[in-house]
Amino acid sequence: MSMSDFLSPLDIAAAIQAFQAPGSFDHRKFFQLTGMSKKSVNQIKNIFKLLDDDENGVIEEDELPFFLQKFQPGARLLTATEMEKFMAAGDRDRDGKVGAEEFQEMVQS
């Protein structure tokens, strides 16, 4: 399974291009540009599984630098500030992780 099973490769490429500059990443805009925000709950959960490197059911801070690369190999790494903003937006229970339900809420907000 790959991101292109759920999202248009053209939409992914446009989103990666839009956030090419370090510090420019905005998760809400990224979810919109990729079309992820319009996907079903089941599709978002499948995308989440692709982002969860160690398959432990959560996205942890050590997985976040590579977030964009999960969508397009060779994409830049997220900066520390971008990762902090992502975690602040997604980690509703403040356990230092973004679970599948938290991610789904984040994508659809």
Q: Annotation-wise, does 91 bind a ligand? A: yes
The alpha carbon torsion through 84, 65, 23, 36 (nearest 10 deg) reads -90
Q: Annotation-wise, does 93 bind a ligand? A: yes
Q: Annotation-wise, does 26 bind a ligand? A: no
Q: Which residues contact 37 (CB under 8 A, 6 or more apart)?
A: 28, 31, 107, 108
| Cα separation values, 108 from 35, 44, 64, 94, Å | 11, 9, 19, 19
Q: Annotation-wise, does 53 bind a ligand? A: no
Q: Annotation-wise, does 11 bind a ligand? A: no
Q: Annotation-wise, does 54 bind a ligand? A: yes
- The annotated binding site is made up of 52, 54, 63, 91, 93, 95, 97, 102
- The annotated binding site for Ca(2+) is made up of 52, 54, 63, 91, 93, 95, 97, 102
